[in-house]
Chains A and B, each alone.
Chain A
Amino acid sequence: MEIIKKHKFSVGALAKKCLPATIAFIPLTVVPSVAQAMITIAVSSTSALHFGTFSAGTTGGTVSISTVGVRTKTGSVTLLAGAGLETQGILSISGSTGVLIDVSMTAATFSVTGPGPAMNVGTFDINGGGSSVSVTLTTNPASFPLGATITVAAAPGQTDGVYSGTYTVMANYQ
């Protein structure tokens, strides 16, 4: 054993003396795939979605607002003129330009409440693409219109008065 140890020691010592230790450095190159700083997305509403003034009628029906603010109805609902309150909603989205952003309603329907039974608001239309769309900001922030449909019960059950509620929308980079 001693011979072996000695022998090994001798070899090690010899190697150290005769063969200088070289270590090859392999440079590590990092190639970033998409090195891009993204602006945090923010989404808000700058204009309320307003269905205007209308009467329910004997059988009720629906009132729709398009993304360009055109109001239509079905059933016995009568659209009442006057204050011209009806208007599409406006979403404002801020974030990085030139990047696809998914924008979607967080639920299929939301409700408005008031002096009578609550009414459902659904069939949302964001920027003409339905309730879930992909948009690209050309400016920061950028605005997108929102339309929807409200379902109205028959009178006199749907009591006169102001009904209000909120909707929630989500935005995310693709």
Chain B
Amino acid sequence: MKNTKNGSDIGKALLMGTALVALSSNPVGATTGTGLISAIILTPIAVTSTQVLHFGSMTVTTALGDIAVDTAGTRGAGTGSVTEVGGAGLENEGRIEITAATGLTMDVAMTATVFTVDDGGAGLAMNVNQFNLKTAAGGTSVTTSIVGPATTVVVPVGATLNVPAGQAAAIVGITPVTFTGAYTVDVTYQ
């Protein structure tokens, strides 16, 4: 029958049907892709104070006044009721030493614009403000980095001490009086 004309038509029809079924069930293959992974390891930043910010010795009267020390450790003349006193040469810029990874820029910033010092007694607390980091006009936020082969960098600190009116009366009879306090800075990798 296959050799007859009609028989061959059936054979062809059967073949076509089989081919159609096969196409509709053909699966799509899997594919792969890649992505990047990154991480950066760094020495943690350590910050220490290696020199106290010291305004030196001064006398005060009843009025208010102020006195400043710059990042080079130079003390300016007192204003208002404040008169600087030489001699002991105690005035110094502050210094903070930063230990961190080399070659990376770091942000160094005061955590506040004003800190206070007091004597823990009868004296009036005094504000310390107008901080300058790194340079005489550096302001309260600067950048720095450590250049190899060094492993640390020092940032000098200058500021202004504000003496309130009435300080003289508060400490009368108990001079010399030492006022102390602290400031804080944040140091972070950029």
- Write the residues of chain A forming the contact surface with B, with a CB cutoff of 8 angstroms: 23, 25, 27-30, 32-36, 38, 40-45, 48-57, 63, 78, 80-83, 85, 89, 91, 106, 110, 112, 114, 116, 119, 121, 146, 148, 150, 152, 155, 158-173
Contact A82 B7 (CB under 8 A): no
Query: Which of B18-26, B52-60, B75-83, B117-125 participates in binding chain A?
Result: B18-26
Q: Number of B interface residues at 8 Å Cβ cutoff, please give it.
A: 38
> B190 contacts which chain A residues (CB < 8 A)?
82-83
- Name the distance in Å between B118's Cβ and chain A's nearest Cβ: 33
> B189 contacts which chain A residues (CB < 8 A)?
53, 80-83
Contact of B40 among A30, A38, A85, A106 (CB under 8 A): A85
Extra pairs beyond A50-B39, A160-B41, A161-B40 (10, CB < 8 Å): A23-B7, A32-B24, A43-B31, A51-B37, A53-B40, A55-B44, A146-B35, A148-B37, A162-B39, A172-B28
- Name the distance in Å between A148's Cβ and chain B's nearest Cβ: 8
Knowing A83-B190, A172-B30, the reply to whether A48 touches B43 (Cβ < 8 A) is no
Knowing A23-B6, A23-B7, the reply to whether A82 touches B188 (Cβ < 8 A) is yes
> B101 contacts which chain A residues (CB < 8 A)?
160
B33 contacts partner chain A, Cβ-Cβ < 8 Å: yes
Contact A163 B24 (CB under 8 A): no
- Name the distance in Å between A162's Cβ and chain B's nearest Cβ: 5
